[in-house]
Amino acid sequence: MAETERPQIYLITPPAFSLDSFPDRLAAVLDAVETACIRLALASQDEGELGRAADALREVAHARDIALVIEKHQLLVERHGLDGIHLTDGARSVRKARKALGDDAIVGTFCGGSRHDGMTAGEMGADYVAFGPVGASPLGDGSQAPDELFAWWSEMIEVPVVAEGALTVERVAALAPITDFFAIGEEIWAAEDAAQALKELLAPLG
């Protein structure tokens, strides 16, 4: 599938943002670049703050018929009318999340560079599996998800695969034929014009 279709775009919010300005910034990016999904990825553990952010971004996303998932906070999915959850612990919580949220919810998970974790997550009902980082990053132990993993996955596994973390124009060009989604966040939000930054990052896609 990934070899013939242009990868879709999956936006990740910054870990902290102002509700006074970010919904408009997000809307501008969504209106400039076709986007499949948004992940609310706040670092905050404050339920009120997360809930207000979820409500604000849901309005922006659903007005454009774009799915909004939240990172880790499963109980907020139904409470705030979100489309699903993004897990960060590989395959460990997939079955539990699927059972709690039902078949219609999006359940995705980040598996680092572990093919085994990805396959297990897929077997447990994950809608997508994310691997990364795909470029040089100081995060974690510095290890990267290799291109060979994406190439193998796109050929052998039907579950959609997401490339995320430390994306550059060069990495987008290399991974475009072998991934279904690019998850993009910090790469663009530091720029004054995030929409333009996203367009430049995705230039290899044509």
Cis peptide before 15 (omega within 30 of 0): no
Q: Could you confirm whether domain 8-205 is CATH 3.90.1150.10?
A: no
Residue pLDDT, tens place only, 3-58: 458 999 999 999 999 999 999 999 999 999 999 999 999 999 999 999 999 999 99
Q: Are 178 and 1 in contact (CB under 8 A)?
A: no
Residue pLDDT, tens place only, 129-185: 999 999 988 767 779 999 999 999 999 999 999 999 999 999 999 999 999 999 999
Concatenated DSSP letters for 44-111? ---HHHHHHHHHHHHHHHHHTT-EEEEES-THHHHHTT--EEEESSTTTTHHHHHHHH-TTSEEEEE-
Q: Residue 37: which residues within 8 A CB-CB, separation 6 or more? A: 8, 10, 11, 66, 67, 68, 69, 83, 106, 181
- For the chain, the structural domain boundaries read 8-205
pTM of the model: 0.96
pLDDT score at 5: 82
